[in-house]
Chain A
Amino acid sequence: MIISFLISIISGAIHSGTPLLYATLSETVGERTGIVNLGLEGIMLIGAVVGFTTTVQTGNPLLGVLAAALAGGLFNMVFGFLVITRRANQLASGLALMFCGVGLSAMIGASFIGSRIQGLNEVRIPLFSDIPIVGRMFFNYDILVYSAIPVAVLVWWLMFRTRWGLGLRAVGENPTAAFAAGKNPHRLQYQALFIAGILGGIAGAHLSLAIAKTWAEWMTAGRGFIAVALVIFSKWHPLRAIAGALLFGGAISLQLQMQARGVPVSSFLLDMLPYVLSLVVLAIWSGARRHATPGSLGRVFQGTE
């Protein structure tokens, strides 16, 4: 009983947490370079719809993922133009991007609602998937789930072990100083946003190609905003984002599991669980966080940017 409960919780956390992880990574890359993107929701929707429609038309979900990633990257370039080149208010631009993403994705996806796809199916790894218990917990997923942690590591490596990443973070801390040190802040920020867009597009694609295997308007249901909170929760660190995404994904899955088990708590209170949990954790870990905030980002949050 306990075993099956554990299996359900963990596999649910991994499953629901994967799009959150990609989304959090996306936002982390952007925020590390000093840019807050509240339009992540829009990027994910574009990724979801492009991924879905491409898969419907080509029959190949991998092409769908690719197309979604590309679409996300390009869509974020619009945002980049506004906040980097035009120095527009980041928060308002983000919300505008979200509206655009919602509307655009609805228009693109309208004629594809109700289409069937094979989607991203689970990939069985010979030997590993057959291990009792552990096999079901960790080796029974689609490739986007398997590649989520490697991608997180890749992002970490890019940001903390390459010169490019160093420049990116320098821009995030203090663009003027970075500029004086010979970096090109604008170019770095554009590059960062492109990568962030790719990650966001993949997050959306996972929702439509792997989890739901369908397209519905606004199917991200706020997950983009949750990712923005998760970035802070994970102190802008790609590896800690894994924990955050798992926690939140786990909370979503947990409340549904609890309902399925007949736990006598109102479904609405259970629904609140993920958000309250995030708030509590945010509050508890506030101290160390202030130092972890990228310098120029602090100004965005204080409104003085």
Chain B
Amino acid sequence: MSEKKMNLTVKLLSVLTCLALVLTWGLPEPTAQAKLKVGIIHIGSINDAGYNQAHSEGVQIMKKNLPNVEVIQVENVPEGADAERVMENMIKQGAQLIIPASFGYLDPALRVAKKYPDVKFVHPGGYKLAPNLGTYWASTPDAFYLMGIAAGKTTKTNKAGYVVALPISFFLANINAFHLGARSVNPKMETRVVFMGTFLDAPKEATATNALLDQGVDVLGVIVDSPITVVQAAEKRGAYSIGYHYLGVQKFASKGWVSGIAFTWGELYTRFAKQVMDGTWKSEALLGNLASDFLTIAPFGPVVPPDAIKLVNETKQEFINGKKNAYQGPIKDNKGVERVKAGEFWPLTNIGKMDWLVEGVIGQPK
């Protein structure tokens, strides 16, 4: 490269560098007007009509309820180092409440929480607490039990199928509750489970749904990040479907919709924000149930028989009144081992240790 060109390039570079420095420190910072900044990180896209969208809509409702709250939202943040960095960046932007909206963010969040004891964290589904990190979740087994009742009375083949991301104990517990609920009204019910190995892979989910349908299943349930694919695939082959995460899924299954379980976090997030603002927030392991406003049973579809709807509502009340437990013994698992003795029940606080599937459920928990 010639001497002249080199000179020119060096000059150009210096100009650019100066420009960069000026822009960095010269431009005025936007003034902070909000009373509270809330940061939320998502593991996937907020338009997935599923897990992430439920959280995203939650913060949008919170924002609507509390106009002086500002929301910082980042999608597609990988777990691990990136999550920590994003959370720290949010804090540097003034966030006082952080919602790390994915199970795998727990450890990164705990590390960041230790560094910033004045910032509050609320983690969905976590199992460890810190003085400034609380967890929250809605205990879903009871809801799945209700779905089981509805499915058990709607099915014509007595076979249900579940497309599930991973054999995590929370998910296994849900399937077990579903199956027990179905069995309570339909002793011939069998439930088949296929694990995806991942939280989102639409073509694979469609193939899995078809595989289940090939086995004679006529009610499909789903525990993946986005329920659209499974529900649609079921609808296409005239099967019934049960939704999860997000109420809007119903429109994908106009004929075969049974019901669904949705998370409606809006009011809960509003409460969190208010508590942080007036200083009453405290770290706790919040576990909601059917009575909470963030766990919603979706409206029933036209195929569900009226007596099923009645039974579901009655059972729902029993759960709320504490008169019923989903895992009432005796329960054997699908390898023949007795897991719950007669007269006892598996406590909901022990869901984390449930690594087995109920007898009658066809699938590999490990």
Interface positions of A (Cβ within 8 A of B):
4, 7-8, 12, 15-16, 19, 106, 110-111, 113-114, 116, 121, 207-208, 211-214, 216-217, 219, 221, 252-253, 256-257, 259-262, 264-268, 271
Q: Are A260 and B45 in contact (CB under 8 A)?
A: no
Known contacts: A262-B362, A266-B366. The answer to whether A216 contacts B194 by CB under 8 A is: no
User: Which residues of chain B have C-beta atoms less than 8 A from A264's C-beta?
Assistant: 364
Known contacts: A211-B207, A214-B232, A221-B204. The answer to whether A267 contacts B212 by CB under 8 A is: no
User: Which residues of chain B have C-beta atoms less than 8 A from A4's C-beta?
Assistant: 214
The chain A residue sitting closest to B200, CB to CB, is A216
Q: Are A267 and B364 in contact (CB under 8 A)?
A: yes
Q: Are B47 and A113 in contact (CB under 8 A)?
A: yes
B202 within 8 A of A: yes
B203 within 8 A of A: yes
B211 within 8 A of A: yes
Q: Are A262 and B48 in contact (CB under 8 A)?
A: no
In B229-286, the 8 Å CB interface with A consists of 229, 232-233, 236, 248, 251-252
User: Which residues of chain A have C-beta atoms less than 8 A from B346's C-beta?
Assistant: none
Nearest-Cβ distance from residue B229 to partner chain A, whole angstroms? 5
Known contacts: A260-B211, A267-B195. The answer to whether A113 contacts B204 by CB under 8 A is: no
Nearest-Cβ distance from residue A175 to partner chain B, whole angstroms? 31
Residue of B203, B205, B228 touching A114 (CB-CB under 8 A): B228
Known contacts: A114-B248, A259-B364. The answer to whether A212 contacts B206 by CB under 8 A is: yes
Known contacts: A110-B45, A256-B194, A267-B167. The answer to whether A216 contacts B226 by CB under 8 A is: yes
Cα A34 to Cα B212 with chains together (Å): 43
The chain B residue sitting closest to A268, CB to CB, is B197
Cα A257 to Cα B214 with chains together (Å): 9
Q: Are A12 and B207 in contact (CB under 8 A)?
A: yes
Grouping DSSP codes into helix (H, G, I), strand (E, B) and loop, the A interface class, with mixed when no group exceeds half, is helix
User: Which residues of chain B have C-beta atoms less than 8 A from A259's C-beta?
Assistant: 193-195, 208, 211, 363-364
B192 within 8 A of A: yes
List 14 additional A-B contacts (Cβ < 8 Å) besides A4-B214, A12-B210.
A15-B210, A114-B47, A114-B53, A114-B228, A212-B203, A214-B229, A216-B48, A219-B202, A252-B207, A256-B194, A262-B363, A262-B364, A266-B366, A267-B194
Nearest-Cβ distance from residue B202 to partner chain A, whole angstroms? 4
Nearest-Cβ distance from residue B82 to partner chain A, whole angstroms? 16
B161 within 8 A of A: yes
Nearest-Cβ distance from residue B197 to partner chain A, whole angstroms? 5
Cα A121 to Cα B235 with chains together (Å): 13
User: Which residues of chain A have C-beta atoms less than 8 A from B251's C-beta?
Assistant: 116
Cα A113 to Cα B193 with chains together (Å): 26
Nearest-Cβ distance from residue A138 to partner chain B, whole angstroms? 16
User: Which residues of chain A have C-beta atoms less than 8 A from B229's C-beta?
Assistant: 212-214, 216
B344 within 8 A of A: no
